[in-house]
Amino acid sequence: MKYKNANDVLPKGLLLEIQKHIHGEILYIPRPSASRKKWGEESGYRPYLIERNNEIKLKFKEGSSIPQLAVQYSLSYDTIRKIVYSKEK
């Protein structure tokens, strides 16, 4: 997240109103809920994890054991167990 100076981006009247409540501090202004993205969507990591988890489930159904999958994917036994026994959405 890049820092921006309020003097450069806000209208004078709005800046004066904000300064009544907070001044000389950093203020975070979140995105509107409608434009907010879910975790990992922008980086592409979320689709990667979904694909990986589907692959793990398929290998489990084909006979791979949880300990084998844990070693193959460098994940803990409990993480693999959660993936293979999770319900589809």
pLDDT tens profile 37-64: 777 777 888 899 999 999 999 999 999 9
Q: Give the model's confidence band at 1: pLDDT under 50 very low, under 70 low, under 90 confident, else very high.
A: low
Q: Give the model's confidence band at 77: pLDDT under 50 very low, under 70 low, under 90 confident, else very high.
A: very high
Q: How many CA atoms lie within 13 A of 89 on its CB side?
A: 3
| SS3 of 49-60 | HHHHHHHHHHHH
Q: Give the model's confidence band at 89: pLDDT under 50 very low, under 70 low, under 90 confident, else very high.
A: low
Encode burial over 33-61: b for 16+ CB neighbours within 10 A, e otherwise.
Answer: eeeeeeeeeeeeeeeeeeeebeebbebbe
**DSSP code at position 23:** -
